[in-house]
Chains A and B, each alone.
Chain A
């Protein structure tokens, strides 16, 4: 890491076109939904740190921040706010993409041929809606039953909450 000299700074100015930062996350999400080939998503996730964070989201918890919207009710000194619309944009991982535990997190795996079986290939976007739930289920099953996910210390209770308890095995209950 060198200190940026004057020349370097100029370059940086030219380079400030990372549209993720420029157009914001919701618009970027609109861009990424056009990438219907999983290989594009896999490659996009290796572009930069911001792209890695953005492209791949596995599980997790949604946090909603009310920036600049703090409002207290005088009567009881409590905060009230009404959310009329929350949107989380994304597409379930296509079949060719898998997730494997790695070190402290997970990595995105791309299997171009092994599990294609004619599903989801750009042209077949029409049946996406029908296939999505099963794909999602497939993914959750993979992650829930992969023993390495447990080695990683993924909390079963959190996984259950994220994916819905019906996908998890019943006997896990007493562990919590």
Chain B
């Protein structure tokens, strides 16, 4: 039993190592090429399925929806999560710290945060997508409508009728 699962784990490890040693080229919509490890690229379900479908690993993957700046940042996330182990408590804590710093930086630049969110959605990077959408949600939490407008730079375009409705909504018990 123990040896069986040990062998399976070893096989999985070997497979992971083998796939991890391959390099994959991702090309932004500006034509800039980024070479990443397969383990890093596999953070993206979109690329993972293309690779597993016996796709054109050698030719690389053009990403027409992602610009260089965004792709570089997304890859930073994928490298951290794909290339590093997260088995021990310390390793997991390090990853959590990385996520925290990563999102704090993005939070300061909303436009960039949206671009990264879009890329995470397009590339199906679950962890990154959850991280960015949670960050946007956190910005909304506990704020008044006015504060939300300021935080997101949203134009006030409510009509008198909307205002009346909202006033009506506010007159609760």
The reply to whether B117 and A111 form a contact with Cβ atoms under 8 Å apart is no
Chain B at the A interface: SS class: helix
- List chain A positions with a Cβ less than 8 A from chain B: 12, 14-19, 22-24, 26-27, 30-32, 34-35, 37, 40, 42-49, 51-52, 102-103, 105, 107-114
User: With A34-B137, A48-B158, A49-B159 in contact, do A17 and B172 touch (Cβ < 8 Å)?
Assistant: no
Apart from A17-B110, A17-B114, A19-B117: 13 A-B pairs, beta carbons within 8 A:
A16-B153, A17-B111, A24-B118, A30-B129, A31-B136, A40-B142, A43-B144, A49-B157, A102-B165, A103-B165, A105-B165, A107-B165, A113-B173
Q: Which A residues touch B140, using CB under 8 A?
A: 31, 35, 40, 44
Contacts A17-B114, A32-B137; A108 near B153 (Cβ below 8 A): no
Q: A40-B141, A43-B148 are in contact. Are A48 and B154 (CB under 8 A)?
A: yes
Nearest residue (CB) in A for B171 is A109
Given A27-B117, A44-B145, A112-B172: A12 touches B155 (CB 8 Å cut-off): yes
Query: 19 interchain pairs (CB within 8 A)?
Result: A12-B155, A15-B153, A17-B154, A19-B110, A30-B129, A35-B140, A35-B141, A40-B141, A44-B140, A48-B157, A48-B158, A51-B154, A52-B162, A102-B165, A103-B161, A107-B168, A108-B169, A110-B172, A113-B173
Query: CA of A47 to CA of B158 in the docked complex: distance in angstroms?
Result: 8
Q: In the complex, how many angstroms separate the beta carbon of A78 from the nearest chain B beta carbon?
A: 33
B155 touches A27 (CB 8 A): no
